[in-house]
Amino acid sequence: MQNKRIRRLATPITAGAVVGITVFGGVPAQAAPTTTTFTASCLATPSAVAGPTVQSQPSSVTVDAPAVVNAGDQFDVVIAPPPITYPNSVSGASVQNVSRVKIDVEVPQNADYLGAEIVPGTGSGLSGVAPNLLRVNENGVVDPNGTILRLSGNNATIGNGPNSSKNSEGGIVAKASSGSDTTFQLPQVKAHLKAGASGNVDLKLRTSGDAGAWANDKNFLTFLPKATLVITAWAPTQCTPRDSQTAPLNVGAGPLATVKIQEADKATTTTLTGPAAAKNGTPITLTANVAPGANAGTVQFKDGGVPLGGAVTVANGSASISPTFTTDGDHSITAEYSGATGFLASTSAAKVVKVTTDAPPDATTTTTVTAPNNAKVGQDVNLTAKVDPAGSGGTVNFVVDDGAPIPGMVGTDGVAVAPYTFTTTGTHKVVAKFTGGAGFAPSTSLAFPVSVTTPAPADVDTTTTLAPLGTVEKNVPVVLKATVAPANARGTVQFKIGDALIGGPVDVVDGVATLPTTFVNSGTYNVTAEFTGAAGFTSSAAAPQTLTVPGATGPGDGGGGFGSLESLFGSSK
């Protein structure tokens, strides 16, 4: 009879201690609280004469946190457990108290823990050691770099700590009061956090690793009931968010609230490129490049503080105009970036353009060449060169190992592309020679080494072709189409304009890859498609197709001219 009564003691104490545990996070008044409802299952193991008892009860965690904080901002998380009630007697056994109460939460990722304090006057019915919040490690030891925030009575627990016991009072004590039940209130604890640079701050109970296992002293909620009936019985209890003893962790182990970190606006630098001299009455191209590459906002070009036409929309970090100067002399040109969401405004240094009636001397150019770092014998690749400043026109002759020149048209963006197929293994040197254009001097690149190897014997050779583009109207949606042979080839196609990516890789289905896009800038460009083969298929690149986007590129044109290869397209979906 005595054993039966003691065995029944654990169940109501466990249930009363679990139901309604609530964690509040974030202090801003505008925050909307979020409540997560889940089942908490606990194991109580009475000492000596009674067997373990499992109890599962509905529980909920409410988090009142800001939906968004700025990067680097400080905000508070208030842990506010609700009143907890336990019966004063069970089948004749008198419950003396519940002690060694602790609740663990995980230190959030993407945030720094700055400290905490108990909110005065928010606890009741407590004795023993004054509650406090400590930062501990996985072993329950106080550690400034620990991953756990623990509300306890100075770390007195039933386990997982240096001051633990399963058969003696300690830490926070809630003594039984008069009447049939005892209710106590753990105090609120305000923890101070500082948001990181980016990402999310997830507020979670401790459930990682061993803390998510059944009946472990690392469980997020543990406590020690004490009762007497001839003898003293202790019932150390461990609780986890799961629907039953054998069930997996439930939603209570997931994020109870998520605070999104809004990245601080990035500082930008605007640089202005273009020729240093111009002929009166002849247009030139001026390009503003915004770094890091914004995809919003406008650039206002100015001549001595006077606007050159209207503001030009920034596309992928670049905006251009092609003004015609009608007054001889030195013109001090600046580019003012307006800023946009996530990006601060900036103004370029002044660039002096000398305008004369006579034709100015040819502007100096630089040419750089790129090719695949690695290629396979027989694989179609594209050789690419960039002439700076852009808008020079003309031709680039690619020379591989001092062989015959392979011509490529220089687009409005300054990029030239030419197809090539290596026929022998080894390291080959590729040089790009710019022939010069109206007002621009020739230039030659440094040699670019390409390592060429033999493809795997079992790999199937592929070829890729890009459907002709011709003339495409500005701001009118078009569909790019690449065809890969054989039709069963598996892999992806990356479309490019110049050396800028158009969207991301597109899966090849039945030998075809398509991509809708819209071009917003006027000019003439090289468009290519590069197939990356999956296992068993070689890669290949389509020969470039010429794209012409008609329209003005002078001051006030929303698309502008181009000096940056990344500004050639508007959007792709």
Please write the tens of the pLDDT for every residue from 70-85.
888 898 877 777 677 7
The total number of structural domains that make up the chain: 4
pLDDT higher than threshold 50 for residue 303:
yes
| pLDDT, tens digit, 9 for 90 and up, residues 82-117 | 677 777 876 667 889 999 999 999 999 899 999 888
Residues 6+ apart with CB under 8 A from 402: none
Same domain, 93 and 148: yes
So what's the pLDDT on residue 49? 54
Same domain, 147 and 107: yes
Confirm whether 257 is domain-assigned.
Answer: no
Tokens read off for 556: 């006030």
Of the pLDDT bands very low, low, confident and very high (cuts 50, 70, 90), residue 394 is confident
Confirm whether 373 is domain-assigned.
Answer: yes
Which H or E run includes 12?
helix 10-18
Domain CATH code at residue 470: 2.60.40.10
Question: What residue type is 438 in one-letter code?
Answer: A
Same domain, 62 and 131: yes
| pLDDT, tens digit, 9 for 90 and up, residues 470-485 | 888 888 899 999 999 9
Same domain, 301 and 288: yes
| pLDDT, tens digit, 9 for 90 and up, residues 150-185 | 999 999 999 999 999 999 999 999 999 888 888 888
Q: How many angstroms separate the CA atoms of 547 and 415, rounded?
A: 13
Same domain, 285 and 384: no
Q: Is 280 exposed, middle or buried (0-12, 13-18, 19+ CB in 10 A)?
A: middle
Confirm whether 538 is domain-assigned.
Answer: yes
Which of 173-177, 260-264, 349-353 has the least mean pLDDT? 260-264
Q: Which residue has the tokens 């654990």?
A: 10
Q: By C-alpha distance, which of 481, 331, 350, 322 is closest to 412?
A: 322
Q: How many angstroms separate the CA atoms of 75 and 67, rounded?
A: 12
Same domain, 318 and 395: no
Confirm whether 250 is domain-assigned.
Answer: no
Of the pLDDT bands very low, low, confident and very high (cuts 50, 70, 90), residue 386 is very high
Residue range of the domain that includes 515: 456-573
Which H or E run includes 94?
strand 93-106
Of the pLDDT bands very low, low, confident and very high (cuts 50, 70, 90), residue 514 is very high
So what's the pLDDT on residue 227? 86
Q: By C-alpha distance, which of 235, 221, 74 is closest to 166?
A: 235
Confirm whether 10 is domain-assigned.
Answer: yes
Last residue of a domain, one of 292, 326, 356: 356
Confirm whether 290 is domain-assigned.
Answer: yes
pLDDT higher than threshold 90 for residue 296:
no
Same domain, 160 and 14: yes
| pLDDT, tens digit, 9 for 90 and up, residues 305-342 | 999 999 999 987 888 898 999 999 999 999 999 999 88
Same domain, 171 and 288: no
Q: What is the mean pLDDT of the chain?
A: 85
Residues 6+ apart with CB under 8 A from 112: 193, 194, 196
% of the chain at pLDDT higher than 90: 52
Same domain, 274 and 390: no
Same domain, 417 and 336: no
* Rounded mean pLDDT, 405-428: 94
Q: How many angstroms separate the CA atoms of 344 and 7, rounded?
A: 67
Last residue of a domain, one of 207, 229, 244: 244
Of the pLDDT bands very low, low, confident and very high (cuts 50, 70, 90), residue 397 is very high
Domain CATH code at residue 83: 2.60.40.2270
Same domain, 470 and 540: yes
Confirm whether 251 is domain-assigned.
Answer: no
Are 99 and 13 in contact by the 8 Å Cβ rule? The answer is no
Of the pLDDT bands very low, low, confident and very high (cuts 50, 70, 90), residue 569 is very low
Confirm whether 368 is domain-assigned.
Answer: yes
pLDDT higher than threshold 90 for residue 392:
no
So what's the pLDDT on residue 51? 72
pLDDT higher than threshold 70 for residue 449:
yes
Same domain, 460 and 448: no
So what's the pLDDT on residue 26? 30
Q: How many angstroms separate the CA atoms of 19 and 224, rounded?
A: 16
State residue 76 phi and psi, 5-degree precision. Answer: -110, 145
Q: Which residue has the tokens 């890859």?
A: 513
Q: How many angstroms separate the CA atoms of 535 and 529, rounded?
A: 19
Last residue of a domain, one of 356, 388, 412: 356
Are 417 and 526 in contact by the 8 Å Cβ rule? The answer is yes
So what's the pLDDT on residue 81? 74
